[in-house]
Structure 1
Amino acid sequence: MITSDKTSYRGLNPDSPLVLAEGGKRYSLKVKRRIIVDGVTVDYWAADTLQEAFTIWCKNAGLGGVLSSHCGRKALCSRLAKNKHTSQEDIIATLLRHNDNETIYHYVEESTGVTRTLMSLYENL
């Protein structure tokens, strides 16, 4: 959304959502339930309509099958794991909003550098 103050935030309202729905309002969140590995049911919030819109945007841009709504999370997690200052499991899990530190390993993209960093984490425990 645009503000009348063109000098700050390049005229954008810093309190508005980054992406707006077709009606000009923020995307709604819905409670979803998932059963995790140990059989426990977990509730979480999701913006299904925004995720669907992102998928359509990628497809229309010719990137269908290349990008997904989780690509950004995977890239962030992988980059944090490579950085010596942010490679701790608890930091990465907190930034990804996961309660279990082990969950981050589903997001780390495998590469020699990342694998080396993760192995060094285990060696330093």
Structure 2
Amino acid sequence: MLGNAGWNLTLRFFLELAALLGLGIAGWGLSGEVWRWVAAPAVPLVAATLWGTFAVPNDPSRSGRAPVPIPGAVRLVLELVILFGGAVGFHAAGYKTTATVVALLIVVSYAFSLDRLGWLLKQ
């Protein structure tokens, strides 16, 4: 699969890490001293849990395991919400250039994963 080219899988991995960082930064930006200490680790932890738990069975870009099976379109929405949520987190924290670069790299990654997108939407 073209979407599984080594460079794109590597890019996707780093985009996932960037999303978690961006979500953590967004959590830290919440007002209130107590809430930021709760939200900064909790938001990325929830996102990572959702990412790892809800999957399409036999997804060739993953291990194939799906602890909680979901339709491909739902998985695609979940991925996009988490990835772009990280970019929004960077933007909200004032890291506008980082947000833009991350968002563009997400688009590039998915543009080179059209076969996977088609597969997801057929599931």
Structure-1-length-normalised TM-score: 0.27
Q: Considering only CA atoms, is the larger Rg found in Structure 1 or Structure 2? A: 1
Task: Judging by fraction of residues, say which structure has more strand.
Answer: 1
Q: Choose between structure 1 and 2: higher helix proportion.
A: 2
Higher relative contact order (CA 8 A, sep 6+): 2
